[in-house]
Amino acid sequence: MISTLMTLPLTEAGSEHTRNIPLPGEREKSMPALSLKPSPSLADAILGNEGNTLFRNALLVLAGSVLIAISAQIVFRLPISPVPITGQTFAVLIVGMALGPRLGALAAIAYLIEGIWFPVFAEARTWAHPFTLWTAGYLAGFVGAAYVTGWLAQQGWDRHPFSTAVAMVLGNIAIYIPGTLWLSYMYAVNTDFAGMALVGEVATKGFALFLIGDALKLVLAVLAFPMAWKWVSGRR
């Protein structure tokens, strides 16, 4: 009886419009778990985005590129692979998430440009080092990966553990696609591998070897970003 009365249409005096009173909890159930409405980046939420000056953005881009360069020196190379295991991929993805798509991608581009003159790549290398050519596809993929994770974070995906994990996976895919394609070309040109043997070689040395490290990086991001947003919300 009470439920029936609460859903009866109410008419305001002098108005032909009617409205229903929602039952308790009805509004909350209808709200989506993830919002697709663009939201401020984590950097904007922490630092504020008043003014959004060119100088401020330049500092954020530079800081992001430096973080990637430092993380690139956390390196472990397996003798069987020309591609080292480094911390720079993790840095690229979290820089994109923290700065947003535009600044995140610019930070990755700045990092690649810095590699022309400075030894910012893994094992303190520049573009001039011959080994860098083998990893050029992965390096180029950093720009797209930072944009992907930044765009997803802008939609609120970095505020929930599951969606943060999905964003990290999609960012890694953006690195692996150009990385493995270019590595396939390098193997085809410089070795005798061909056909399925080439596919197996690239899949093993350019992809499978990195999955455990990628899983660990994913866990770190899942723990860090929702916690950071919870801290930001607590400050308000």
Q: What is the pLDDT of residues 87-107, one digit of tens each?
A: 899 999 999 999 999 999 999
* Beta bridge pairs of residue 18: 11
DSSP helix/strand/coil, 60: helix
In a domain, residue 33? The reply is no
| Predicted pLDDT at 213 | 82
CB distance 97 to 158 below 8 Å: yes
Report if residue 12 sits inside a domain: no
The answer to whether residue 53 is domain-embedded is yes
Name the token pair of 51.
């003014």
Query: Can you tell me the distance from the alpha carbon of 175 to that of 211, in angstroms, rounded to the nearest whole number?
Result: 13
**Can you tell me the distance from the alpha carbon of 25 to that of 234, in angstroms, rounded to the nearest whole number?**
24
pLDDT per residue over 163-184, tens digit each? 999 999 999 999 999 999 999 9
Domain annotation covers residue 15 = no
Residue at 30 is within a domain:
no
- Measured between alpha carbons, how far is 61 from 171 in angstroms, rounded to an integer? 19
Confirm whether 32 is domain-assigned: no
Question: Which candidate, 217, 232, 181, places its Cα nearest to that of 93?
Answer: 217
Q: How many helices (DSSP H) and strands (DSSP E) are in the chain?
A: 11, 4
The domain of 144 spans 39-235
Give the residue among 86, 75, 142 at the shortest CA–CA distance from 114. 142
**Does residue 75 lie within any of the structural domains?**
yes
Phi, psi for 81 (deg, rounded to 5): -125, 140
CATH number at residue 140: 1.10.1760.20
Residue 14 lies in a domain: no
Contact 145, 88 (CB under 8 A): no
Residue 24 binned pLDDT confidence (cut-offs 50, 70, 90): very low
What 3-state DSSP class applies to 118? Answer: coil
How large is the average pLDDT for residues 140-150?
A: 96
pTM check: above 0.85: no
Q: In total, how many domains does the chain have?
A: 1
Identify the band that residue 207 occupies on the pLDDT scale cut at 50, 70 and 90. Answer: confident
Taking residues 37-43, report their average pLDDT: 72
